[in-house]
Amino acid sequence: MRKKSFLQCSLLMSAAAVLALSLPARAQLSTVQLETWLNSPAATSHVGNITGNAKAAAADYRRYCVGCHGEMGDGNGENSPWLDPKPRDFQLAVFKCRSTPTGTLPTDEDLFDTIARGLDRSVMPPWNTFTKDERVDLVAWIKHFSPRWQNEKPGAPIQIPPEPEVTPERVKAGQEVFGRVQCWKCHGVEGMANGPSASTLTDDLGRPILPYNFTDGSRPKCGSTDSDLYKIFMTGLDGTPMPSFADNIKPDEAWDLVFYLRSLQPHNPFNAKEKQIAKQLGLKPVSPQ
Amino acid sequence: MASRKNLTGSLLLLLLVLSCFQSAHALPAFARKYGLRCSACHESWPMLNYFGQKFKDNGYQLMNDRDAPIWQNPSYWPVTFRITPIWHRVSNARVAEDAVPGSTTSSTVEGRIESSGFDLSGLDFHTGGTLEKNVSFYVLPSSDSTATFHFETVMGRLDNLFGSSWLNVKFGKFELDNLLSEKRILTLTGNGGIYQTYHFMPVGDGNIFGQIGDNQLGIEYMGHSADDRTRISASLLSSSDGNVGLVTGANSYTGFFTGSQAFDAGKLGVERIGFYAMVGEAATFYQTSGGVPIPGSGIGNKGFSRVGFVGQFYFGPHFDIQVVTQHGSDNAWFGQGFGSAVNPSNGTTCPTSGPCGPNNVPGTVLPATARAPSWNGATFEAHYVYSPQLIFIGRFELERMSQQATVGTPSNLGNITSYTVGYRYNPFMTSRAGFAWHNEYNFMHQDLTSFYGNNVNSSELLIGFDFDF
């Protein structure tokens, strides 16, 4: 009996160890470390001709952000237990919305834009009430939370070729890409977030996560323009199961995919032409085969 | 010596109590819904900051596609109550009193009355939020300190009609679109707890319907840019000063218009300037029965207007100044006391602010010396925000008559100068509840309004626990 308990206990501990190892590593930061980083050159930011300073954002962070993101920037603010999705852990410095290749740090401008845009379908609202200076300061503040900013440079933004003209051929080609790289496995054959893998998805911290539903009229998390969509699947959403397809899709094909995805969305200011073409073509949902 | 020790001990105990407050586990309505701290929307609760104003302008929505109640836990109940137990000391100078107390034949003298003691504010039950995406409501039953309730706010609103932030409509009883909101005022004393500029009336004036600080009944269109930098609104209101039952305002309407533009001022913050204009008419003649005015029968409308500028100027994250100016003008009939011939709250008895006004029955003529009263006013309110938990407030208000209603009246009759200083300390700052230790002093001076036409000074010192839950 005791042997059985020991076995169970060992298995449980092994499972916990495996789980722990599979999660992104995070050192426990101290306020002393943060204070040190606050005074480091990395705790500055540059957007356009504005230079941000982390210290100048302390009051704004405390007033607006700390309830969710926490004093230590670890996403463990007092409201965190009740929020879904969870607030970003700035100590990990893993960000969904980037213009930089997967696995790299975002640019200051990426963070600057995310603050103003907010993240749809989360509690992060559009903080476009800040002045640009205040937002640039907040970017610097965010950067002081993670050792990554001390040791790494942001990735180089991906090159986005000029957007071509939308044509029926391109929309059709985009559908072919949608099927070939198996977007449908998560997003569903009609983009309704009901693919066979949809219910099994978790983020890098093991928390359940849903794919984007193209058909419900909600805004994509990282921006609504065609370029934003292009960036999403060419950089991936780090920390989520959405990978970068930069190695699988050529730039021209990426635009085709943008046009096809537009045709799945309900009417919005960006997709009148794509919807019309899809209707004319009588596009049927992709076949999982 | 012993009393000084006791005082020191009491203060230490108070500090200890204040330093030991822990966050409560219930939520004021909106903070509970979204999990944001009070400070996200309030410069200091209850005064909105720019983000809070945007939230309000969006129909109490963050615009993150999770605003509809279907996304909330079913147990979510959007109710907040607010009440303030206080201690205050009130001093009123030159109060008319009998020279011989108790005598009915005594002459009248002027004396100072001072009173102090523990007291209560009224109770507010705020309930509001979204019924569906872009459809929201707000209901606020409010009582005075004796628990006599009325509806301070009752409205439904439709926002982002046709997907445009420029098309928003509210309907019901609501606060006018004042950028410096009196309903979210940071001060609580009798005279300092309102903006004098929002309620000023010349001495003897009968027009109670131009008070922009009072919630009004009507419909409001409001539009704003996505980032709320540009805001416009236009309201059509019953000239009833928010009173129900069509006792007054049955046949008269008022328009209220605002516009403002905010500017990005770099490290200083977002600065805003704007204007407002209230233009309306109100009845001066009521049909009578047995010589008594019949409620709801008001006609003989006369005009009035209130126009002014508003400015919100930020000087970094800690200091700001808010300014409201006003030029007010009433028709000469109002200046002679016409306009409040019935009590707007119930139609039966005289207004509490004075005797019933005269009724402009056919044949009534104005005195030859009557003319339209007009005045200018300004409110300057400064805030030093040491942190989201501690704010210092200073306000200076002045109301100056520019033309009295009757020729020969002293030009400064009724002029008001008011000073208010105070601070609010929130011992904790969470999304769960609001609690402020409040301390405030107001001094108000009014020219020539005592019984014998002397200047009147009044003051009030107030200490209280202002909390909502």
- Residue A114: CA atoms inside 13 Å, Cβ hemisphere, count? 20
- Between CA B77 and CA A15 the distance in angstroms is 41
Q: For residue B40, give the chain A residue with the closest CA.
A: A64
Q: Chain A: nearest CA to B434, how far in angstroms? A: 14
Helix (H) or strand (E) holding B444: strand B434-446
Residue A271 or A20, more confident: A271
- Between CA A101 and CA B197 the distance in angstroms is 58
Q: Chain B: nearest CA to A42, how far in angstroms? A: 20
Minimum-distance CB partner of B228 among A82, A129, A133: A129
- Between CA B134 and CA B158 the distance in angstroms is 6
- Between A168-180 and A251-264, two packed helices, what is the crossing angle to 10 degrees? 100
pTM of the predicted structure, to 2 decimals: 0.87
**What per-residue confidence (pLDDT) applies to B355?**
52
Q: For residue B265, give the chain A residue with the closest CA.
A: A131
Q: Chain A: nearest CA to B281, how far in angstroms? A: 38
Domain spanning A168-281: which CATH class is it, in words? mainly alpha
Minimum-distance CB partner of A133 among B64, B267, B431: B267
**What per-residue confidence (pLDDT) applies to B72?**
80
In degrees and rounded to multiples of 5, residue A61 shows phi and psi of -60, -45
Contact (Cβ atoms closer than 8 angstroms) between residue B140 and residue B152: yes
Residue B129 or A28, more confident: B129
Please state which architecture CATH assigns to domain B25-468: Beta Barrel (2.40)
**What per-residue confidence (pLDDT) applies to B32?**
75
| Average pLDDT of the residues of chain A | 89
Is the sign of the CA dihedral A106, A110, A111, A114 positive or negative? negative
Instruction: Assess B430–A contact: CB distance below 8 Å, yes or no.
Output: yes
Q: Which residues of A touch B22 (CB under 8 A)?
A: none
Instruction: Assess A128–B contact: CB distance below 8 Å, yes or no.
Output: yes
Nearest residue to A61 (alpha-carbon basis) of A48, A72, A51: A72
Each residue of B21-72: pLDDT tens digit?
Answer: 333 333 367 777 888 888 999 999 899 999 999 999 999 999 888 888 888 8
Residue of B45, B64, B312, B387 to mutate for A, most A C-beta atoms under 10 A: B64
Assign residue A149 a region (left: φ > 0; alpha: ψ between -120 and 50; beta: otherwise). Answer: alpha
**What per-residue confidence (pLDDT) applies to B392?**
98
Instruction: Assess A119–B contact: CB distance below 8 Å, yes or no.
Output: yes
**What per-residue confidence (pLDDT) applies to A12?**
54
Low-confidence ranges of chain B (pLDDT < 70): 1-28, 345-356
Instruction: Assess B63–A contact: CB distance below 8 Å, yes or no.
Output: yes
Minimum-distance CB partner of A132 among B35, B264, B317: B264
A31-151 in CATH: which number? 1.10.760
**What per-residue confidence (pLDDT) applies to A61?**
95
What would the two tokens of residue B378 be? 């300004």
**What per-residue confidence (pLDDT) applies to B346?**
65
Q: Chain A: nearest CA to B42, how far in angstroms? A: 9
Instruction: Assess B54–A contact: CB distance below 8 Å, yes or no.
Output: yes
Q: Do B270 and A125 touch (CB under 8 A)?
A: no
Q: Which residues of A touch B66 (CB under 8 A)?
A: 121-123
Contact (Cβ atoms closer than 8 angstroms) between residue B241 and residue B214: yes
Residues 352-411 of B with CB under 8 A from A: 387-388
Q: Do A123 and B387 touch (CB under 8 A)?
A: no
Query: At which residue do the structure tokens 């009883």 appear?
Result: B173
Instruction: Assess A51–B contact: CB distance below 8 Å, yes or no.
Output: no
Minimum-distance CB partner of B265 among A125, A128, A131: A131
Instruction: Assess B264–A contact: CB distance below 8 Å, yes or no.
Output: yes
What would the two tokens of residue A43 be? 């705790």
Helix (H) or strand (E) holding B387: strand B374-387
Instruction: Assess B39–A contact: CB distance below 8 Å, yes or no.
Output: yes
Distances (CA, A) of B287 to B216, B293, B305, B360: 25, 6, 25, 9
Contact (Cβ atoms closer than 8 angstroms) between residue B297 and residue B286: yes
**What per-residue confidence (pLDDT) applies to A11?**
53
Whether the per-residue pLDDT at A217 is higher than 80: the answer is yes
Q: Which residues of A touch B270 (CB under 8 A)?
A: 129-131
- Residue A265: CA atoms inside 13 Å, Cβ hemisphere, count? 23
Instruction: Assess B25–A contact: CB distance below 8 Å, yes or no.
Output: no
Q: Which residues of A touch B51 (CB under 8 A)?
A: 64, 127, 129
- Between A251-264 and A272-281, two packed helices, what is the crossing angle to 10 degrees? 80
Q: Do A219 and B65 touch (CB under 8 A)?
A: yes
Contact (Cβ atoms closer than 8 angstroms) between residue A29 and residue A72: yes
Helix (H) or strand (E) holding A150: helix A148-151
Instruction: Assess A134–B contact: CB distance below 8 Å, yes or no.
Output: yes
Minimum-distance CB partner of B266 among A64, A78, A131: A131
Instruction: Assess B267–A contact: CB distance below 8 Å, yes or no.
Output: yes
Whether the per-residue pLDDT at A138 is higher than 60: the answer is yes
Q: Which residues of B touch A117 (CB under 8 A)?
A: none
Q: Do A67 and B40 touch (CB under 8 A)?
A: yes
Q: Do B266 and A128 touch (CB under 8 A)?
A: no
Tell me whether residue A233 is exposed, middle or buried, using C-beta atoms within 10 angstroms of its C-beta: 0 to 12, 13 to 18, 19 or more.
buried
CATH 1.10.760.10 in chain A is located at: 168-281
Q: For residue B226, give the chain A residue with the closest CA.
A: A128
Tell me whether residue B19 is exposed, middle or buried, using C-beta atoms within 10 angstroms of its C-beta: 0 to 12, 13 to 18, 19 or more.
exposed
What would the two tokens of residue B5 be? 């020790």
Query: What are the residue boundaries of the structural domains of chain B, listed by start?
Result: 25-468
Q: For residue B36, give the chain A residue with the closest CA.
A: A67
Each residue of B79-92: pLDDT tens digit?
Answer: 889 999 999 999 99
